[in-house]
Chains A and B, each alone.
Chain A
Amino acid sequence: MGEFKVHRVRFFDYMPSAIRALAFQPQREKIAVARTSGSVEIFNCADRFFQEKIIPGREQAATEALAWVGDRLFSAGLNGVISEYDLENQKVKYTIDAFGGPMWTIASNQQGTHLAVGCEDGTVKLFEVCEGKIQFEKNLAKQKGRILSLSWHPSGSRIVAGMMDMIRVFNTETGQSVHRLLVERGIGASRSVECVVWGVVYLSDGTIISGDSSGKVKIWDDLTGTLIKSHQVTKWDVLALSVSQDETSVVAGTSEGTVVQFQFLSVVLGQEDKEWVQTRIFKNHTHDVRAVLELGTAVVSGGMDTQFVVRPLLDKIEERGPECVLRKIQFPHRSLVSCAKKAGLLLFQYPGHLELWRLGESDGHGASGSVLPVKRKPEKLLHLKIKGEEHICCSAVSPCGEWIAYSTVASFRLYRLHCDNNNVSITKVSKLPKVLSSANQICFSSDSSKLFAASTCSSVHVVSLSQTVHKFVCTLKPKSGETLLTTAVHLLAASEDGKWLASANSDREVQIYNLTKMKLHSTVPVYNSGVTAMAIHPTTNNLFMVHADQQVFEYSIEEKKYTDWSRQVQRNGLHYLWLARDTPVTNVTFNPKNPTHIILHDAYMFCIIDQTLPLPDSSSQFYNQLTLRSLPEKDRTKHSHAFKMCKTFKELMFVELMEDQSLVAVERPLVEIAAQLPAPVRQKKFAT
């Protein structure tokens, strides 16, 4: 496996923001996640919950709710505007002011014709969904007090609104209130506090389910407007509700960090008489669960502790597979760190600023696993704050460490770094080509002479960099002329010799461009899972790709086909433990000294694939480092296989091999993230 000098980097203070809202698109099986930073992420449920798209947020966005209408995603926020997102190019398409003050909720009807938003001023506003825009239609009867939650009846004829101390049912035709359901306040000290109905769900049989701040989940009948049953779920608030597609299960997220499931079960087996019964409690969060989704086969929840948790419901899953594992997604599925291999610099991307660090140095030699003395401490060279409200969507540092580029939705900036002993200064490159208005992904060529910026419609702009002139070379476009709607590129990989550039977009297409001819060289066959990481081998110029379902492919660029090794992998199949890993590989790198070694990492391990060794078959021990160590030297070769895993590090954000054969591992321990979270609600623990 080889020995490395490892930089254990712990100074990347990455802090994810809390999850505020979740919305599920059942046709495409996608989940939209809104975070308090204003960013919206799209996860693909069918593709192992791979984070396909990230729409960066902006200051004071305060997205409160999300709603899908067909393939279109809308959000409403406390800033009072409804936004529609351009999911292809990963940005906000347009915003429209609802003129009702801050908005707490947005809901679409099942027919996909209307959107309803609940406003601070007590109005429910209906918008008609038109081609390319939305059109205000009417206000429902204005109420006193804010509208906090909305749910359409599946027929679209009625809408239920959760308010302060009450629930209202509106007729959408007439706009009049049909029922006024009073929700009792909590007991004790909270009697004087208004009861907030945080979530409502309207079922097709006329049952209304509500969750409120007194900790109760209540079941109402809309025909008579009466309370059928009340379940005290928590001492604190019930913050979110979600119903499954078949309306047999409802989940409620609470302030205690629990998700409580209710099921529509027959009280006496074999009889039709059914009742909502509280059944399971899932506790996967430490803080408020602000949003939940019941997908039928899994319960998805997110909240203040920033984790996106997928809890599979094993009783609904037919066969054991990769869906059966509990997933906790803490980190974005793309790298926020870029590294200047030659200069030993690390660029960290925060939502609102960039940080450039120089790695420490050590000249000591020690035994394996020991800590070396640090000669020079790591040093923060730069803290670059961005201008404007938009958050950074991508950034890169050139391998020589001379150039830094970042892009927001609105602007693209390139800086030149002057490192003069201890004096660090940067100058903004002012005269950039006009086409570089924004980029989805930035990459430098290995000799730092070219800048590649992925732009709309999967196009990549190439800019040649020099000390003085920055010339736009050309725009590389995928050949297919008819597919103008191709989605944004989220990965770029340039070859070491400067000949090739590979780009991957969220439609799972991988294009390879010839940089000498400046045109498309070939297209890798589309695989049915997104590419999570890829890189071009420095010596063989093979493109190495890892997909969200943990499959690995090696594609020979020159021969335009998969390599023999890749075919062998596909023939043999990967080890089931490798396929069962629940976080995607986010970075691929190579060891120039040992060309057969490929270094991969995901959030919990990094791994070296040795292409010369045989692949593990399903009967062999996969995590075999410890057994190998105990074996005598002769037997090791017999038992060793291609995958060598290393789990010594805490949660990993980035692993890269530097020019000087030292390994950089950027760790972000989850305990440190948890320590920065606000205190959770007080809970009595036994024996305290």
Chain B
Amino acid sequence: MVEQSGVRVVRCGGNKINFRAPIITKDCRFLICGSGDSVKVFSTSTEECVHVLEGHTDQVTGVALNPANHLQVYSCSADGTVRLWDFIDGILIKTFIFGYPILSLYVSEKHAGVIFVIVAMENQNKGENFQLLALHLPKVPDQEVEAKDMFAVLCDISPNPGSTAFGQGGEYIASALGLRLNVYFFRKQKTYRFSLKATDKKGAKNAFTCVACHPKDDCIATGHEDGKIRLWRNFNQKKEYTYSTQHWHHNAVSSLCFTPEGMHLLSGGVESVLVQWHCEEVNKKDFLPRLGGAISHIAVSSDGQMYCTSHSDNKINIIHCSFKLSAVIQGLVKGNIWTDLVIDSRTKALVMNGRPGHLQFYSLQQDKQLYSLDIVQQEYIYEEGLDQFEVMKAVFDVRGNWLATVEERGRDSDLEFALKLWGFNESAQSLELNTTITAAHQDRITSMCFSPSTETTMLVTAAKDGQFKVWLLGTDSETQKEQASWSCDFVGSYHGLQPTNCCFSSDGSLLAVSFEEVVTVWSSDTWGLLTTLCQPPGPIRELCFGRLSCSKYLLATTPKNLLCWNLLTCSLEWSTPMDVHLLRSDPLSDIIAAFCLHSKSSNLFVFRPSEPRPLFTQKAVCEGKVQRCVFAPRAEPLDSCDERFQWLNRSRLYYLTEKMELLSFSTQTEDERILKSRKQLLVDDSVAVTPFYLLLGKHRRQQEEEDKLNFMTNKVSERTQHPQASVAVKELLHTPAHVLPAASFLCSMFVNSLLISNTESREEKQPSEKDEDSDKEEDDSEEEMETGDGQQEIRTQGSVEEAPPKLSKAEEKELRRVRKTDFSWVTSLSSS
């Protein structure tokens, strides 16, 4: 197998934002958290992602504000580096190379130039062992520095970052592991150890779960397995230490945090209730219930105005200090996934199980949840062992007008399920429940699909009761005309066998239904059985029609073989002995992706049904079995010239691993493009990214693109066109001062940019209407802002077939009108 150097596996969105505790910046405007390989900066007021700080090559395992400069943030990662970022502008300032995977990061104001990291201990043969190191950051102006000056502070500590905390003024560090609390005093260089018994008479589980230190007093709060919170004092004595115990949580306390003045202690656990303890009045506490999943981390801003909680359902809640929920940042919920990964063709969002009983619509481009659709429409009760309705299947039709869902409850004997059909309401711009069919089949529905044909809206369901049913949207004349509902049109079966899969051909004329080991092909017009295909024996696992040029092929997988039939000849075209467990066709091209498990890792094969040779193979795309996969259409196609990667041009293949990681492939060209877009400095953050801003900014950006297109076609230096807008000036004005080169260096560039170039005559040949627009643009350049997604820039280099949309006359007029409207109120609103 040739090493595919051009393609790499990337985590591409839907990453965990709850892996480590987030931080809130000093001014409370941003929330910074690690997300996969990157650090994300969210706006606390609008919940939008403002920057993605990319550079780490492995899981980011901690973020911390630079105590010396509150506009900078440190991040550490399992790739063994600590990076210092300017999160306002989203640029990497420095990289400290440490060399070993870092599990967590701590900073303290008292220890300037030192950061503390948790790493796995070396030379330990029995089990995992972790230690806390103090890492001196060398003061060298280089971008990349090796940090080798370190010493061990505490050995044998918990890898959980919540189990270690800095005490008042950085005087000591408290760390808990199992039943032992260690307090290390930096000044005395002495460690005090306090142990609890594993259980006491009342059967309490005393193991420590988390630690927090009071910011003003010498008081350590510890959370315990049984939900108790202990407040330790006088811990600089071996014997005369003392603690008081508080108990509210009924299960383990997962996170503790003091407010900056030490007035309150916040605690959270699996109950998903944020508890605020008053340190002065011990018995008084406030509760903020129903926050979502179990609380995993709590963080407080440095002025105490904002709290944030991360939850197990990949969510960050931002809570005002008056104990009101102010914003929710929702990532991709990765709980139990029963549905396939589905792409909603309207929003291009990934649809899958989200919160219990819901489907989540997740935008992969923007990496955020669009919305969550309540399918079950029943209150979910958080209790173990309770059998509740869950969405098991979800299918969209081709245009995204219809959604069919199946929800289930109970085991085989007392199975309850319902088939629901949701229509898209144009006026409300949302999916609305159209029909609920409670007993669509006698037994569990195994597969369903919509017909891709444009004339009829048709759904086929196959169930374990040995039947497949065809459902049609009919306008029942007897009932209300506008309210079309679904009804059964045809019931088919084949020798009483259980149907396992069903699939429509790309034009919708043929329906293939697999009955255990037999594939039947039906005509969708007459519902007559056309043919049966059953060459090599074996139960059919997956069924899939070829598309576009390969639409005459029908593919199926059995535990032993991958089969391909030619439907014109009704004969087996080819078959290969391969244990394919996942087969998915790209809706935009004729290629098909197959995953097969080989020696505990999954291999990917991409092929055209017409050619027996695979187009592309990648071994070991992930550990374990690939659970689900989907082709998601790209917003703008790539124009990769390499033949092997052309299949990635129009769609992107996403797959979900056993560890619930959403992975994808990225080509070199794509990487380069992202890198390029990142290099452009982000400017002007005085306006928060609000939906209004995006609305206004869209037009602005379009204009910009056209400008750039012009530069490219004209091959004219950009610098000379408009002095104010020239890149040099822009860079000069908008680059943060601390990363600017010397002024002497800039001077010549700046002066050069002011010189009137002799190419001006050629400038005059620019189309006049564009000039006009761009001139006007300069006026409100203050509102200019570029988001980090870089989509628009990509378009400029895009393929020829996807030229930027030309505006019609009417549209242009409308745009002008919009532009002239006074939007200054938006600015005032957003800045307030």
Contact = CB atoms under 8 A, between A and B. Distances in A.
Interface in B241-267: 241-245, 250
Contacts of B749: none
B249 to A, nearest CB: 10
Nearest to A687: B250
B244 A280 contact: yes
A263 B234 contact: yes
B649 interface: no
Interface string B754-795: 000000000000000000000000000000000000000000
B281 A232 contact: yes
Nearest to B183: A269
B586 to A, nearest CB: 54
Interface string B1-22: 0000000000000000000000
A315 B282 contact: no
Contact of A268 (B168, B250, B280, B284): B168
Interface string A216-257: 000000000000011111000000000000000000000000
Given A231-B282, A267-B218, A279 B240 contact: no
Nearest to A268: B218
Nearest to A283: B202
Contacts of B239: 314-316
Nearest to B284: A232
B217 interface: yes
B703 interface: no
B240 A280 contact: no
Interface string B275-290: 0000011111000000
B236 A279 contact: no
A265 B282 contact: no
B244 A279 contact: yes
A232 B283 CA distance: 6
B218 A269 contact: yes
B283 A265 contact: no
A280 B219 CA distance: 14
A315 B240 contact: yes
A315 B241 contact: yes
Interface string B207-247: 00000000011110000000000000111100111111100
Contacts of A261: 242
Name, among B233, B280, B281, B284, the residue most crowded by chain A CB atoms within 10 Å (CB to CB): B233
A230 B168 CA distance: 24
Contacts of A233: 283
A594 B218 CA distance: 65
Contacts of A686: 250
A280 B218 CA distance: 17
Contact of B242 (A229, A266, A268, A315): A315
Counting contact residues on chain B (CB < 8 A from A), the size range is 20 to 34
A287 B588 CA distance: 77
A261 B231 CA distance: 13
B281 A280 contact: no
Contacts of A230: 281
A279 B231 CA distance: 8
A278 interface: yes
B281 A279 contact: no
Interface string A494-536: 0000000000000000000000000000000000000000000
A281 interface: yes
A232 B282 CA distance: 7
B234 A280 contact: no
A279 B282 contact: no
A281 B245 CA distance: 7
Most B C-beta atoms less than 10 A away, residue of A314, A315, A686 = A315
Contacts of A132: none
Nearest to B240: A315
B280 to A, nearest CB: 8
A457 B537 CA distance: 109
Contacts of B245: 280-281
A277 interface: yes
- Which of A270, A279, A686 is most buried by chain B, counting CB atoms within 10 A of its CB? A279
A230 B278 CA distance: 13
Contacts of A687: 250
B242 A280 contact: yes
A316 B240 CA distance: 7
A266 B219 CA distance: 10
A314 B194 CA distance: 13
A229 B216 CA distance: 18
B236 A265 contact: no
B513 to A, nearest CB: 52
A281 B244 contact: yes
A269 B236 contact: yes
B34 to A, nearest CB: 33
Interface string B632-653: 0000000000000000000000
A347 B372 CA distance: 79
B242 A267 contact: no
Nearest to A260: B244
Nearest to B241: A315
Contacts of A266: 218, 234
Interface string A354-393: 0000000000000000000000000000000000000000
Nearest to A234: B283
Contact of B217 (A268, A270, A280, A316): A268
Given A315-B240, A686-B250, A265 B234 contact: yes
A277 B233 contact: yes
A316 B243 CA distance: 14
> Considering residues B219, B244, B250, which has the most beta carbons from chain A within 10 angstroms of its beta carbon?
B244
A232 B280 CA distance: 10
B478 to A, nearest CB: 55
A231 B284 CA distance: 10
Contacts of B242: 261, 263, 265, 279-280, 315
A666 B577 CA distance: 84
B743 to A, nearest CB: 47
B365 to A, nearest CB: 47
Contact of A280 (B168, B243, B283): B243
A316 B234 CA distance: 13
A687 B227 CA distance: 14
A229 B233 CA distance: 18
A687 B219 CA distance: 31
Given A263-B234, A268-B168, A268-B218, A278 B240 contact: no
A219 to B, nearest CB: 12
Contacts of B233: 263, 265, 277, 279
Interface centre among A230, A269, A277, by most B CB within 10 Å? A269
Nearest to A314: B239
Contacts of B284: 232
Contacts of B219: 267
A686 B233 CA distance: 28
B250 to A, nearest CB: 6
A296 B241 CA distance: 15
A218 to B, nearest CB: 12
B278 to A, nearest CB: 10
B236 A270 contact: yes
Contacts of A265: 233-234, 242
A647 to B, nearest CB: 18
Given A263-B242, A267-B217, A268-B217, A278 B234 contact: no
A281 B250 CA distance: 19
A233 B244 CA distance: 12
A261 B234 CA distance: 14
A278 B218 contact: no
A363 to B, nearest CB: 44
A281 B282 CA distance: 12
B244 A278 contact: yes
- Interchain residue pairs A-B with the least CB separation, the first 7: A269-B218, A279-B242, A267-B217, A279-B244, A315-B239, A269-B236, A315-B240
7 contacts: A230-B281, A231-B281, A232-B282, A263-B242, A266-B234, A269-B236, A281-B245
Given A231-B282, A266-B218, A316-B239, 9 more contacts: A229-B280, A232-B284, A263-B234, A277-B244, A278-B282, A279-B243, A280-B245, A315-B239, A686-B250
